[in-house]
Every structure is written in structure tokens, then in C-alpha cells.
Structure 1
Amino acid sequence: MSETRILTLVGSLRAGSINRRLAEAAAQTAPADVAITIYEGLGELPFYDEDLDVPGAVPAQAEALRAAVAEADALLLVTPEYNGTLPAVLKNAIDWASRPYGAGAIKGKPVAVVSASISPRAAAWAHGDAVKSVGVAGGIVVESATAQFATIGERFGQTHPARDAEALSQLGATVHELVAAAKGARISA
């Protein structure tokens, strides 16, 4: 069977962010026949603007994101919570991937959401908003492929999530469920 490709979009742009480290740890849990890539460049993506989304005017960064999403078998979103919701950079990526309306690269794509926050709520609002946005955009949220991490400053402040057995177990289960959904989607296509 061919390799399953998962594209990871991280909502935090900070190089040392714990959310990015969670994405890196998730990639380490992938089986041998699964490639997980963390997308670089969300910070360079211009805000979605319909005036830019016309033939000949679509920014190269948006075209690159759309192509990467289209080539992936599934998406893994890793989101912190900023002011009670998902970061603008992640919402913007979903917006670009959802267009053209009804036929965007995200349409019909299995998507898992991992959320993490310094609060005890584990970025629950950001998680919910990401699920809602992906669903409206046409992605298929894999409800069983989820992980939420609370008080990450304390938990992962000194230790990479890749060295936390419980975190690896949760991330591995998320990746496993997402891969199963991607393979199922491929079979039914």
C-alpha cells in the first residue's frame, strides 16, 4: 500500500513553541508507512482576501499551501488558544484551503485537531473553533483523532513532549485514528 501523507499545520509561529514541539512529537509516533510533514510558511501567508483569490492574482504562498493540502491524505492541526479562540494564522490557513468555495483543497480531507494551552482548559475553545471552522470549510473532522493538553507550561516547560510517555501515547492514538480515516477515505474514493 502507498505511503499515507499527513500535513501538519501549527497555529503558533514561535520557533520554540510547545505546540510546535507537540507536532514534532506526533510526527515521531507515525508508523513506517506514514509521512508527517510540518508545514512551514504560515506566517508569510497573506490574510485571505477575495480580491486576491482570482486567476493570476493568487499569492504564491496561498498556492503553495493549497498544493500541500491537496497532496496530503489528511491534515493534523495543532492549535494553542489565543484570547479564547484559535490563532489567526491557523484560521487564515483554513480559509485559503477552503477556496474556491465548495472545491477547496480541504474538502473531504480527514482532519484531526490537537490543542494545547497553559490553562487547565486545554485550549477547549480553540479546539472547538478549529473543529467548527474545518467542518464549515468542508474538511471531515475525525472526532476520535483528538488530543488536548492542559497546563503545558508546567508539563512541557523543561521536557520535550517526545520524552513524555503519556503525551506520546495520546499523540500516537491521534495519529493512528487519523491514518485509519485517511486510508478509509482513499479506499472509498
Structure 2
Amino acid sequence: MTTTTIAVLVGSLRRGSLNHQLAQLAVDSAPTGVAVTIVDGLGEIPFYTEDLDSPDALPVAASALREAVGNADAVLLVTPEYNGTLPAVLKNAIDWTSRPFGEGAIKDKPVAVAGISAGQYGGKWAHDDALRSAGVAGARVVKDVTLSIGGAYQRFADGGPADDAELVTQISALIAELTSAVAVAA
């Protein structure tokens, strides 16, 4: 049996964040035959510049990101919404995986987005921006495979994402749909 691999890029650097917990829930909810892995170290990657994007200057963390995304069959972006858009750390990760232009690690990878935010729309603007950026970078955005969870402070006042049965079902369904997109692309 072939294993489908999904790389998860988390837009929040705080380990205890609800979005990091959601990413971990995706890892824990992966069905048999699917390996979901959170790509660590996004905060260690300098902002993208062509000055650093050369064999003699490429940051180790950027190289590791490219390798993780390049080796994955699909990518899941998990992000909160900061000031109406995606966090810089996630945009930077997309930028690094988009190069070299037309041949980047994210090229042709099925991509979906999920996230939790305090606002009532669950970070919808950030999710739309993340998918637009990934699409421009060459990814294959999987239409209608998003999960935007709003009202974070109320919804998770008494527990985390793993304690929310509805959310467990939703993230499992998202992983299944993203996995199906990989099969369609093959």
C-alpha cells in the first residue's frame, strides 16, 4: 500500500496556539495510508530574498522546508488571521517553496487550508489569501476544501480542538478530501 504524505505549514509560531493544536489534530486524525507531518522551523527561515537563494547562501531552514514540501504529495496550510490576512511566516514559507520560479517545491501540489480564529468568520480572509498566494506560487488549490473555525475564545473556552467532536470529524474529512485530490492528480 502506498502512503500519501501531507506536509502541514502552520502560520502561528506559538506551540500552544489553537492552530498548532489543529495541525496536531490533523496529524492524529490521519487515516491508515496517510502520513501527515507538521513542518517545523518556519520561524527560523529568513524573509525570502534572492540574495540568500543560492547554493552557497541557502539557509538550512529554507532548504529543509523545500525538501519537506517537495517530498510531500500535498500541503495543508493551517493559519490564523492576523490583521485581516495571513501571517508573514506562512507567506514567507510559500515564497521560499515557490522558487525557483516555475519549478518550486510547491508546484503542482494539491493545497488546502484550515484554521481557527477569534473572529466570527474563522479567518476566511487569511485562508483566501493563503490559497491565492499558493496558487500563484504554482500549487494546485483544491477548490472548496477549507475549514474556517470562528469564535475561538468561546468555542474552546473549556478545551482544545481535540476535545471538539465536530472539529475532529471536520478535519478528518478535510484530510480525506486532500488525499483524494492527490489520487486525482496521479
Structure 1 length normalisation: TM-score?
Answer: 0.95
1:10 aligns with 2:10: yes
> Over aligned residue pairs, what C-alpha RMSD do you find?
1.0
Ranges in structure 2 where 5+ consecutive residues have no aligned partner: none
**Deviation, structure 1 residue 183:** 2.0
Task: Write the distance in 1 (CA, Å) between the matches of 2:35 and 2:26.
Answer: 11
Please identify runs of 4+ aligned residues in structure 1 that moved more than 3 A.
none
Q: Does residue 1:157 correspond to 2:172, yes or no?
A: no
1:35-184 residue pairs with structure 2 within 5 A?
A: 35-184=35-184
Report deviation, 1:55.
2.5
Taking the aligned partners of 1:2 and 1:160, their CA distance within structure 2 comes to 32
Could you list the runs of 5+ residues in structure 1 that have no partner in the other structure?
Answer: none
Quick check: 1:31 aligned with 2:31?
yes
| Structure 2 letter corresponding to 1:86 | L
| TM-score, normalisation: structure 2 | 0.97
CA distance in 2: counterparts of 1:93 and 1:149, whole angstroms: 23
- Give the secondary-structure state (helix, strand or coil) at the position aligned to 2:68: helix
Give the whole-Å Cα distance in 1 for the aligned partners of 2:84 and 2:144: 23
Deviations 1:65-107 (A, max 9, x none): 0000000000010010001100000000000000000000000
8 Å Cα contact 1:118-1:151 kept in structure 2: yes
In 2, are the aligned partners of 1:110 and 1:141 still within 8 Å (CA)?
yes
Say which is worse superposed, 165-174 or 94-103, in terms of deviation. Answer: 165-174
Amino acid aligned to 2:24: E
- Percent same amino acid among aligned pairs? 56
Q: How many residues align?
A: 186
